[in-house]
Every structure is written in structure tokens, then in C-alpha cells.
Structure 1
């Protein structure tokens, strides 16, 4: 195990046996990405799709900071989370379109056009230093520009990670029946889910069209998504203490219901379209891949 991999395992609070997952699954993926890049005419955009708590951000960190540099490749990670609209913008959307848009997460609550512009700028051969937004989940808001990341070098690989990266819209008839109580009680007329679907067919389709290769981390089912998101929020709560807008367990359950429809759709749609598919168990460990 390299020193950089060991350092990342410690930094992310991962169990010692995570090194075996890196060796068995992530190192071969890094070699695949290097091969894809060798055949590309410009910086390669690798989308990493994974439901909440599936470990996509962790995977991106290992690829960017350890595995791809070991292969002589520079990488930059762009997170869909950092493209969330500021809280004030989502509240405006909630007033003008539907109250459920006050909650971040679904398509329509990101600045998809900004994401496309950032990817285009990262791919440009000559440009000034680029500043990438950062979003604070604890504060539920975009951080001030002084806290944004600065990227000065053109990367070989752009890792674009996010829970719905690469998602496609559903057929209109699929929107008619609510998938849970949240939709049945708070979106009975389907305005919210219809707007989400329209966003996927519009600005998000244009953003996701920039992806050259797609990697999917697929949990065993939606129950595992909820359990992993609950664990994620508890860790955030431990770090934030009394500061920030950290959710209670009940708030997490309601929050995750906003994601349920599209998550289930992606489970059915994306596996056959992904260039690399990793099947996970309930503890986020890879059990097989194709």
C-alpha cells in the first residue's frame, strides 16, 4: 500500500481493510481511466454516479489524490453538490414553482449551466486560474467566494461526481403515480416531480452530455441508501456540534424521500449504460463489478 493511499484511509476515517478494496477495485479502475484518457483528444470527463452515502466522494478522492497521480495523470474533482443553488435561490424557486424546492438535492436545485461552463473552462488549453464553488451541507448554503477552490493547471482527467450524475428523465406516464408519502401528500398534482423531470431533459441533459465515461456505484436497494445517508449525517453532526443546520434522524428520513423517485429510476436505467458498474453491499463494500 502506498503512503498516499494509507494517508487517505486515515484522513477519511476508513477501516484498515479498505486498502484491499483500493487494490482490488479502484486501482484497476484508475488503469481503465488512464487507458480512456490515452485515446482522448482533450481532458477526459469521468462521471461518477452513486446514491447518497455510496462512497463516490471517497472514490473520487482516491483517484484524484493517489491513484491517477501514480499513473502520471493530473485530475480535478468537480462535485455536483458544489453546484447547488445558494439557499436564497432555492427559496425563490420554492416560492415561484413549488415549496419542495426549498430542499436541496433534486434536479432544478443546482446551477447546471455553471457546471457546464466549469467543465468547458477546465478543458480549455489556455485560461486564467479557475475558481470552483464550494457548498456547505452543515450551513445548507454556498460558501463565500473567498472559500472557493482555485485550479491553475489544466487536468488530464475531470472527475465529475454526484448522486444523479448521468441520470435521464422518466417517461411522462411514470410521473403519474407517487412513489412515497411525500409525493402523495405534498406533490399531489405532480408539479414538483414534473419540473424535476423537465430539468433533467433540459439543462441537466446538456451538462451530462459532457461526460465521456460513466462509473456507477450501485447499492443493493433504497433501504441501504437511507441507512448510509443517516450515517453520513450523524458523522456531519459530530463534526459540526451545535453549529450549522445539521439534520436530525427524522429530518434525514424526510430529506431522503425527495431523492427516492430518481434513485429508483437510476437503479433501473443506469447499470446498462455505465462504462463501469460496481455493485455494493449494505456497508458500501464492492462485491462485484463489470
Structure 2
């Protein structure tokens, strides 16, 4: 799949190409991005990855949002939990050809790593692969926010304050980042229901690699409830917006693909 994505990127006169991979949690996008970087290196390209997961706001800033706006904002992941200024500044530095430290986030500690532990991208980078679970997603219509989508929203957001705030952030703040993408693809799972299984497998691998306890399945289910609204919205809208949509089977293998051309991220053409 990495070879297909590299080969399908459009010709560009820009020195740096920014390619995006959008897919639900646990779908393998980080592994795919790393494979693309490795393959690009074999082709003589200087390449690096940047994940939306690596530009989450530090825990202290999310706690302030939880106190000032809504308690659910303490949880990383939904719109409004990212440091968009950091992401944009990083991409700007790379486009200018400057060496740059790439932010990294420790998911098990639920906090950003100190800058001295960030890897450095080389000067004059040729390819940046940006990946994220809500990459290129647009905001929902206000009417769609009226009905709770799960127990988390019913019990912890009965007045819709959290989901409206997140939706507003998605409408106003994220398009500036989405517009940095020169090309992007969407990995489409069989349905949202499989995301919990995939994310549980990912959590087990992460915990084993770092020799620390990860989240239980029950904790993961609660965690993913914060993602469900935008995740389902992405599944309904992004397949026909991405330049390339790759359908995944239950084992995360490509089972089909659709070429759409390029639609500016955040727009919602009729599928």
C-alpha cells in the first residue's frame, strides 16, 4: 500500500510535498506512514512523518480547558485538543527548508514529550507524511448535534455544550491545517464498530513495547466514545472527498479503492 500511495502522489513543483493519511483509530495509519517514509528513503527522498496524535495539547492545558469550558475536554483526541499553532509552525519551518524538531506525544503518560526528546527532520525535506484519525474532517451541521450519539454524550453532555464547542473548533480552527495537505487519502474500515477491536490490539502492542500497562478494553471503549461522533461523520463524508479512498477489510487489508481526484479538505461534496 505504501508503494501505491507514493506512486499516486501528484507531480509538484514545490520542494516539499505534504501527503495526508486519514483513518479511524487503530487502522494502521501510523505504520503505513512509517512504511512510506522508509520507501521514500530508498528512492532517494528525504522524508518524515507528523501525526496529529503528536501535537495534542499538553495535559495541563487540557485540564485548563476542562475547568474553563467543559470537563470532557480533559480527554485528548476530539477537535480542540490539538496544538494547531505548533503543527502549522512545524510545517512552515519544513516548507522553508529549515531543520526542525518534530513533536512527539507519550500516549501512555498522556502528555507531550519534552522537546529534547523530539526527533529532528533534516533540512530540505522532500516529503512529509501527516496522519491522523480526524484528518481533513469537516464540521457537522448544527442540527446533527441535537441528538446524543452515545451514552457519553447523553450522560456527560446533556446540554450539547461540549459537542458544539468541538464542532466550532473543527469549523473555524482546523481548515488552516487541512489546507497544508497537497494530497491525501482515506482508509475506510468496514464500520465504526470494528475500531474498538483494532484500537485494543494497538494498545496491547504499545504497552508491550514500552513495558507499561495500557488501557483496559472497558477504558478504551469509554475513551473511543469521545471520538465516535466525528469518527462516524468522517466515515460518511471523507470517502468521496479524498483523492484516493482505500477500503479495508477486518484484517486491515486493502479490499478495494476509489479514485476521486482532489477536493479541498473540509468541503463536503455529495457522495
TM-score (norm 2): 0.91
Q: Does 1:110 align with 2:82?
A: yes
SS of residue in 2 equivalent to 1:158: strand
Give yes or no for contact 1:85–1:109 (8 Å, CA) kept in 2: yes
Q: Does 1:64 align with 2:37?
A: yes
Question: Counterpart in 2 of 1:151?
Answer: 121
Give yes or no for contact 1:86–1:141 (8 Å, CA) kept in 2: yes
Please report how far the alpha carbon of residue 75 of structure 1 lies from its aligned counterpart in structure 2 after TM superposition.
1.3
Question: Counterpart in 2 of 1:178?
Answer: 148
Instruction: Name which of 257, 260, 267 aligns with 2:235.
Output: 267
Instruction: Name which of 133, 157, 160 aligns with 2:130.
Output: 160
Q: How does 1:14-93 map to 2 (within 5 A)?
A: 25-33=1-9, 36=10, 38-65=11-38, 67-93=39-65
Distance 1:74 1:276 in 2: 23
Runs of 4+ in 1 over 6 A off after TM superposition: none
Distance 1:270 1:61 in 2: 22
Q: Does 1:255 align with 2:223?
A: yes
Instruction: Name which of 160, 179, 197 aligns with 2:167.
Output: 197
Deviations 1:220-250 (A, max 9, x none): 1011111101111122233344x46x31111
Please report how far the alpha carbon of residue 181 of structure 1 lies from its aligned counterpart in structure 2 after TM superposition.
0.6
Question: Counterpart in 2 of 1:141?
Answer: 111
Count how many residue pairs are aligned between Structure 1 and Structure 2. Answer: 258
Please report how far the alpha carbon of residue 275 of structure 1 lies from its aligned counterpart in structure 2 after TM superposition.
0.6
Give yes or no for contact 2:46–2:122 (8 Å, CA) kept in 1: no
**Higher helix proportion, which one?**
1
Give yes or no for contact 1:113–1:203 (8 Å, CA) kept in 2: no
Please report how far the alpha carbon of residue 150 of structure 1 lies from its aligned counterpart in structure 2 after TM superposition.
1.2
Note the residue ranges of structure 1 that are not aligned, 5 or more in a row.
1-24
Distance 1:249 1:161 in 2: 24
SS of residue in 2 equivalent to 1:231: helix
TM-score (norm 1): 0.86
Note the residue ranges of structure 2 that are not aligned, 5 or more in a row.
259-271
Q: Alignment RMSD, CA only?
A: 1.3
SS of residue in 2 equivalent to 1:271: helix
Give yes or no for contact 1:113–1:207 (8 Å, CA) kept in 2: no
Give yes or no for contact 1:45–1:160 (8 Å, CA) kept in 2: yes
